[in-house]
Structure 1
Amino acid sequence: MNAIPKTATHDILDHPFKLSIGGQLLDADATFEVYNPASNAVIAHAPEGSAAQLDAAVAAAARAFKDWSRLPWETRADYVTRYADALEARKDDLITLLTLEQGKPRHTMATGEVEAAIYWVREVAKRTLPVETIEDTAEHVVEVAHVPLGVVGAITPWNFPVLLGLWKVAPCLLTGNTMVLKPSPYTPLTSLFFGEIAQSVLPPGVLNIVSGGNDLGQQMTEHADIAKISFTGSTATGKRVMASGSGTLKRITLELGGNDAAVVLDDADWKSIVPTLFWAAFGNSGQWCIAVKRLYVHSSIHAQFVEAFVEYARQQVVGDGMDPATNLGPIQNTMQYGKLLDLFADVKKNGYKVPLGGTIDESIPGNFVPVTIVDNPPESSRIVQEEPFGPILPIIAFDDVEEVIERVNASPFGLAGSVWSGDRARGIEVAKRMETGTVWVNEIHIHGIDIPFGGHKLSGMGVENGHEGLCEFTNTKTYMFSK
């Protein structure tokens, strides 16, 4: 778990990180510290954009919108494709930066995130939103088009800063909008870097990156010249985004928290899915909005399942993400680490059965939390009711399908879920009754360019990806012509 000394692969940290505003790379009057969560050592200083610089970025995006929105769709698609090529050329630096500031293992999740993000940008560029003719008679024509909104403000989180940032950038630009993106202050470096890369490819002002604190986010959501906010983060912050954007009736897309349940029925081939469900819960050290956070297993197989799950979990190594032996990295920031300390204390205070983990060693440098499994805590417990956003998982027994569906749906969240059964039709019937935006049956965490993703209830509003995701960056416009 010790931090690895700086080597030649860390040379990217000597790079001057700057704001991207109107095609220029700019410093700010102030900076803030960026930490490596594996050691809590300062690894860089990021520019703290001012209110005036955010205003300048919005103004630059508004100016660029006039010409960018008028370009043919094919021309914008070509720009976005060339941006993917430019990202590919700096892929290794992006991967290293991601591990150093976020913590996830470089050789697995960091590489996977960056490669998936570049693929997403390239594939999104191949999509279209054609004008639809819904009426064409001898006297009349009615067409429906999807037209760009204007300047879009994107606010991105610290758990997947590259992927979730570029998920927003590509469809936004393709549909004719321009963007001002504010990354999480915990992980600004990768966004500043991919913003710099964009300046070598895109026209000035089309993509602007301004790093800073939460006050800039508030300024964005209230800004009169920003037409839409696309936000990924906590439900509590999402509510504030929606409230502050209401003054200007901004379009809002919110991808928020979840307390996702996986249901393993009594006829499931449970031995074969233990590794799949482990990584569905503990990938990215549990810092994943769609991580399995409640694992319901039928009581007839519960004890055997827990034993096998614990055995598999024991084999995983928690450590510095730059170490090739590491399977799971640290918690990204001390704020989230503190929340987990409190949750672990609650588990201990209540005497829940913990067959693995359960104690955080605060003497170790870095935000390391052990893989922890809580065996059959009560439904009312915090570990079942709350979203931990860390490597701790309750495995809960249930007796019948009606009971477990009721327990799953009692949550105020509704992001995603999964059902596991030896009878596909039976699994689908259970899935249809789960109140979530996405449900997988006998698979999990499958995403796609053309697959819409969004939450129900307190897990958000609107969708990303797919045809619906492209439409989220547009207004519907109806044309009617007399012949």
Structure 2
Amino acid sequence: MGSLATENLKMEDLTFHNIINDTLRSSDNTHTVINPRTGSSLWPVPIASSQDFEDAVLAAQTAFKTWKLTTVSERQTLLTKLASNLEEHLPLLSQILALESGKSLLLSELDVRGAIAQCLHYAQPENALSDHIQFEDSSVKIIATHVPLGTVAAICPWNFPLILSNLKVVSSLVTGNCVIVKPSPFTPYAVLKWIELARGILPPGVLQCLNGGADLGQMMTLHPGIAKVSFTGTIAVGKAVMAACAKTLKKVTLELAGNDACIVCADADLDKTVKSVAGGAFFNAGQVCVATKRVYVHADIYEEFVRRLVEEVKGSYTVVEDASVPSVFGPVSNKVQFETVKRIVEDCKGRGYEIVTGGEVRDSASDKDAKEGKRGFWLEPTIVKGPPEDSMLVKEEQFGPILPVLSWSDEDDVIERSNLANAGLGASVYSTDLAQAERIARRLEAGSVWINQAERPHMGAYFSGFKDSGFGGEMGKQGLLSYSYTQSLHFAK
């Protein structure tokens, strides 16, 4: 357990359960997650059975009969209580999260605090849906009201376990839905513990959590008692989710791959831009849905930009084995993704691309773990200069600490190169000429574009993917519409 094994958090003291109708349910069928920093095993965690899932759906359907009748104000009061509960348990949840995800304690605390902020954001009256007049004339007044769907299945990713699970939870709750959370099997612990600790705040059956893999996800997409699936993950799985949901005409929201392009113009302020691009690319070792994945730098400043970027990354994004040391760079979060990124690195080496920094696997393990052959999933921050446009590194979303830096000179050309089918989630543009930056931004085929800043979603803004990067969206008031039916009430005058 290393530096995180405190008197308040010992591996042998913690147990994890599925949460069904506010009861804790164990199972003889378990799996164990690997600590990405060291390769050592963590806790056994129960895998939900098909009966567990059926029981959770029944509990949600029963709870929904009365939960849907609550007012928005009543739900928002409970969101505030959820935020307080998260705050109370922040040290415990942060330490669990650090162990399962490989994040530093600093980043793990940011994950928990992000979930707190989400609760408080949607607890504000102005951030929830409300009735409004759609149309009115001398003969009719038409009011739009928002009706909850029923039970939402939240199928969640591993890169920010609490933030990305809680976003689906608060969106479901504030709109009057019940929600069953399925955390990633790579990072189940903090989410299960959070929902366990939150019991008693909401009526039983309103918020439940089940641990499982693809088979549980498939049950969620096919069950007629699930009204909506909110999924965050890969394009291939997202397509399968959408096809399965079609069989029962479920509502579905998909946040999928984002091979985000970053365009740096010739007049960019390099002092600010280099630091921002480095952070956009290597924060959380590049494991961010809207991380900077491809950088296109104007030919006039290309060499200078690359030189500065290498210096910045070498100075600010290094392997720090002790999770208690504040750091925004860490290991790849699981072995599957580790092997994916290694494959891309090896492809770059095999094809002779110019790696200007990084490119090596870094061992990290305690003496005991090392003797047992256990290793963490560490890759050095890696920058590749000028790989071809059809290279694996450029075409595929790497979701890890390796970054291609390419050159451009023609605006139409760089926009065309940026607009890949799998690059529709986010993008960024850097220029001191704001008119130029906005002109480029408006031509980029991405749901969110950041100008002179790294890609960071904002709770007040609708977040969605174009093309292969998603279907529907989350956040902002618009994001809540996908968790509701809109009913039009026509009043004759």
Same fold (TM over 0.5): yes
Per mean C-alpha deviation after superposition, the further-off stretch among 24-33 and 212-221 is 24-33
CA gap 1:463/1:175 in 2 versus in 1, 3 angstroms = same
Aligned to 1:336: 337
Q: Does residue 323 of structure 2 align to residue 322 of structure 1?
A: yes
Residue by residue over 1:256-300, the C-alpha shift from the partner in whole angstroms, topping out at 9 and shown as x without a partner, is 111001100001112322111101001111111100000010111
Q: Whole-Å Cα distance in 2 between the matches of residues 13 and 327 of structure 1?
A: 29
Aligned to 1:171: 171
- Deviation for aligned residue 1:200: 2.7
Q: Whole-Å Cα distance in 1 between the matches of residues 409 and 445 of structure 2?
A: 20
Counterpart amino acid of 2:286? G
- Deviation for aligned residue 1:110: 1.5
Q: Whole-Å Cα distance in 2 between the matches of residues 254 and 423 of structure 1?
A: 35
Aligned to 1:250: 250
Q: Whole-Å Cα distance in 2 between the matches of residues 403 and 306 of structure 1?
A: 21
1:118 aligned residue (116, 119, 126): 116
- Deviation for aligned residue 1:409: 1.3
Aligned to 2:32: 33
CA gap 1:363/1:105 in 2 versus in 1, 3 angstroms = closer
Q: Whole-Å Cα distance in 2 between the matches of residues 480 and 411 of structure 1?
A: 42
- Deviation for aligned residue 1:140: 3.3
Residue by residue over 1:156-187, the C-alpha shift from the partner in whole angstroms, topping out at 9 and shown as x without a partner, is 00001100001110111011000011000000
Q: Does residue 446 of structure 2 align to residue 436 of structure 1?
A: yes
Alignment of 1:143-292 (within 5 A): 143-292=143-292
CA gap 1:209/1:410 in 2 versus in 1, 3 angstroms = closer
- Deviation for aligned residue 1:322: 1.6
Residue by residue over 1:223-274, the C-alpha shift from the partner in whole angstroms, topping out at 9 and shown as x without a partner, is 1100000001111110110011110010000011110011000011123221
1:475 aligned residue (480, 485, 490): 485
Q: Does residue 418 of structure 2 align to residue 408 of structure 1?
A: yes
Q: Whole-Å Cα distance in 1 between the matches of residues 228 and 135 of structure 2?
A: 30
- Deviation for aligned residue 1:14: 2.2
Q: Whole-Å Cα distance in 2 between the matches of residues 372 and 437 of structure 1?
A: 27
Q: Secondary structure at the match of 1:253?
A: strand
Counterpart amino acid of 2:97? L
Counterpart amino acid of 2:337? Q
Q: Whole-Å Cα distance in 2 between the matches of residues 71 and 167 of structure 1?
A: 20
CA gap 1:135/1:419 in 2 versus in 1, 3 angstroms = closer
Q: Whole-Å Cα distance in 1 between the matches of residues 351 and 399 of structure 2?
A: 20
Q: Whole-Å Cα distance in 1 between the matches of residues 410 and 260 of structure 2?
A: 19
Q: Whole-Å Cα distance in 2 between the matches of residues 247 and 259 of structure 1?
A: 30
Q: Is the 8 A contact 1:222 1:244 kept in 2?
A: yes
Q: Does residue 405 of structure 2 align to residue 418 of structure 1?
A: no
Q: Whole-Å Cα distance in 2 between the matches of residues 33 and 208 of structure 1?
A: 21
CA gap 1:120/1:266 in 2 versus in 1, 3 angstroms = same
- Deviation for aligned residue 1:128: 2.5
- Deviation for aligned residue 1:4: 4.5
CA gap 1:155/1:278 in 2 versus in 1, 3 angstroms = same
- Deviation for aligned residue 1:448: 2.6
Per mean C-alpha deviation after superposition, the further-off stretch among 427-436 and 410-419 is 410-419
Q: Is the 8 A contact 1:99 1:321 kept in 2?
A: no
Per mean C-alpha deviation after superposition, the further-off stretch among 28-37 and 345-354 is 28-37
Identity %: 39
CA gap 1:131/1:15 in 2 versus in 1, 3 angstroms = same
Counterpart amino acid of 2:413? E
Q: Whole-Å Cα distance in 1 between the matches of residues 142 and 202 of structure 2?
A: 35
Q: Does residue 95 of structure 2 align to residue 85 of structure 1?
A: no
CA gap 1:149/1:325 in 2 versus in 1, 3 angstroms = closer
Per mean C-alpha deviation after superposition, the further-off stretch among 387-396 and 121-130 is 121-130
Q: Is the 8 A contact 1:9 1:96 kept in 2?
A: no
Q: Is the 8 A contact 2:27 2:48 kept in 1?
A: yes
- Deviation for aligned residue 1:352: 0.3
CA gap 1:166/1:194 in 2 versus in 1, 3 angstroms = same
Q: Is the 8 A contact 1:104 1:321 kept in 2?
A: no
Q: Secondary structure at the match of 2:330?
A: coil
- Deviation for aligned residue 1:342: 1.2
Per mean C-alpha deviation after superposition, the further-off stretch among 171-180 and 313-322 is 313-322
Q: Whole-Å Cα distance in 2 between the matches of residues 410 and 482 of structure 1?
A: 50
Q: Whole-Å Cα distance in 2 between the matches of residues 12 and 163 of structure 1?
A: 24
Q: Whole-Å Cα distance in 2 between the matches of residues 412 and 335 of structure 1?
A: 20
Q: Secondary structure at the match of 2:355?
A: strand
Q: What is the TM-score with the length of structure 2 in the denominator?
A: 0.94
Q: Secondary structure at the match of 2:310?
A: helix
Q: Whole-Å Cα distance in 2 between the matches of residues 363 and 112 of structure 1?
A: 24
Residue by residue over 1:295-338, the C-alpha shift from the partner in whole angstroms, topping out at 9 and shown as x without a partner, is 01011111111111111111232133624064411111111111
Q: Whole-Å Cα distance in 1 between the matches of residues 143 and 328 of structure 2?
A: 53
- Deviation for aligned residue 1:114: 1.2
1:374 aligned residue (371, 384, 402): 384
Q: Is the 8 A contact 1:152 1:230 kept in 2?
A: yes
Q: Is the 8 A contact 2:162 2:191 kept in 1?
A: yes
Q: Is the 8 A contact 2:258 2:424 kept in 1?
A: yes
Residue by residue over 1:10-57, the C-alpha shift from the partner in whole angstroms, topping out at 9 and shown as x without a partner, is 337622211111111211231110221111211111111101101111
Alignment of 1:46-61 (within 5 A): 46-61=45-60
Aligned to 1:6: 5
CA gap 1:339/1:466 in 2 versus in 1, 3 angstroms = same
- Deviation for aligned residue 1:5: 6.9
Per mean C-alpha deviation after superposition, the further-off stretch among 275-284 and 411-420 is 411-420
Aligned to 2:372: none
Q: Whole-Å Cα distance in 2 between the matches of residues 13 and 120 of structure 1?
A: 32
1:389 aligned residue (399, 419, 424): 399
- Deviation for aligned residue 1:449: 2.5
Q: Secondary structure at the match of 1:268?
A: coil
Q: Does residue 150 of structure 2 align to residue 142 of structure 1?
A: no
Q: Is the 8 A contact 2:111 2:163 kept in 1?
A: yes
Which ranges in structure 2 are unaligned for 5 or more consecutive residues?
366-374
Q: Does residue 343 of structure 2 align to residue 346 of structure 1?
A: no
Which ranges in structure 1 are unaligned for 5 or more consecutive residues?
none
- Deviation for aligned residue 1:212: 1.2
CA gap 1:254/1:93 in 2 versus in 1, 3 angstroms = same
CA gap 1:363/1:104 in 2 versus in 1, 3 angstroms = closer
Q: Whole-Å Cα distance in 2 between the matches of residues 55 and 320 of structure 1?
A: 42
Per mean C-alpha deviation after superposition, the further-off stretch among 220-229 and 191-200 is 191-200
Q: Whole-Å Cα distance in 1 between the matches of residues 132 and 429 of structure 2?
A: 37
